[in-house]
Structure 1
């Protein structure tokens, strides 16, 4: 599988207290400098409001750096997914990640399984006709058995699972169980290692991210079980890195984590 970097490898994407955001072009070039082969633009406001000029700039920069582009959003609204199909085509992306549960513009969208299936049955054929695959990511809000049932009810090779077993820990689902339940429907992998550590005074635990191979995610087991098509299913790095005191320090630690994790991914696939 080709390995890459998500915009979620940059802490400002998920932590409002993080450093000032880089532009998408800056992130793309940093990902390429670190040796990534894929750059996934995930849940980014500039993607939600993609302009023709930005699309052309990103596509040209990716081609110049030898990067594959992927995109990501949240939700299963038919109009929303149609708009993101157009964004993917404008960028030359062949994979779009989304979520069955989302908060869009401050409004919670938690469709029933029946509603999700109906929405996806309407829009997934359009993705298939365009040669684009839609993946629904694993999250604690929806049990993996329920997410799998939605995907299997639609039963189209252009709809599958974006596998991130770290996200499911909060719902008390064991990563190994998640991997085995979903392996046959995986179309994209989010790579995020994690570790449980005792809090000061032994008053509970902290679940936090760490570089790949330094935590409790058995990623070698994931690769052995999933066995994805290496030409189609990519591994995309993310982090839960807390701010490191100031912007430059946080950026340096992010880059170090990403580089170490990319090297670990390469070793695990040898």
Structure 2
């Protein structure tokens, strides 16, 4: 199992921070933590990098033994084409994206048709598209789209926390998507009562303190010789100030990496 972190494990170090962490420093952090992988995910700053800057990131990661992945959103062919070029420049073999609601609402045939337009470019670049489980598209539709495409260039990025917002059970998402998983996002999550006991908040939790059955998830995903990277993420609420929030974010990262390494041992 290759273990790594992504941009969402460092979210508060490049949002609401007096000195936002640049992408090259994120790669350094992944290396310092002994990670195999760093996923540059939903970070708009990467779009401003020219070919030379992308090569510098690639070389920086290579020198530290860190594989890069890229993450974006959407399945429009022109958008994916631009992302594939960036992924290829970074030597990122996995491109995570998501089917957004506008596409999902137009139905399975529409989703498959759009994705099919991108498969030749993915194959030519040696990049696998990992479509994330999300509340914006039913997991059953996402799985069906991947099965209809029937190509090694398109699989699933499994994150069972995301589907709760669509009233899906995480265990059902794992059961449906595990065999197609080419990338795994790992974060714990929990419900908490809002003040006044009026409703709930679904939010992140320190690994082991929430509802994620990590051992079940890993057993399902890594069965039958599958070997996707496991990428640490968080849904950490703002704690009132940057120092406290970043300190807790780092603690959660350490806890999740330790749990993954213990499972892989």
- Relative to the length of structure 2, the TM-score reads 0.92
Structure-1 residue corresponding to 2:230: 235
Structure 2 residue ranges without an equivalent (≥5): none
CA RMSD between the two structures = 2.0
Moved more, 109-118 or 251-260: 109-118
- Asked if 1:49 is matched to 2:48, the reply is yes
Structure 1 residue ranges without an equivalent (≥5): 103-107
- Return the structure number with greater relative CO, CA threshold 8 A, min gap 6: 1
Structure-2 residue corresponding to 1:10: 10
2:129 counterpart SS class:
strand
Structure-2 residue corresponding to 1:63: 62
Count of residue correspondences: 263
Conserved in 2, the CA contact under 8 Å of 1:132 and 1:158? yes
- Asked if 1:153 is matched to 2:148, the reply is yes
Conserved in 2, the CA contact under 8 Å of 1:11 and 1:242? no
2:162 counterpart SS class:
helix
2:87 counterpart SS class:
helix
- Relative to the length of structure 1, the TM-score reads 0.90
Q: Tell me by how many angstroms 1:33 deviates.
A: 1.5
CA distance in 1, matches of 2:228, 2:8: 18
2:151 counterpart SS class:
coil
Structure-2 residue corresponding to 1:215: 210
Q: Tell me by how many angstroms 1:7 deviates.
A: 0.4
CA distance in 2, matches of 1:87, 1:254: 28
Q: Deviations over 1:93-124 (max 9, x none)?
A: 1000001116xxxxx65553222211211211
CA distance in 1, matches of 2:223, 2:43: 27
CA distance in 2, matches of 1:212, 1:142: 26
1:263 aligned residue (244, 258, 261): 258
Structure-2 residue corresponding to 1:176: 171
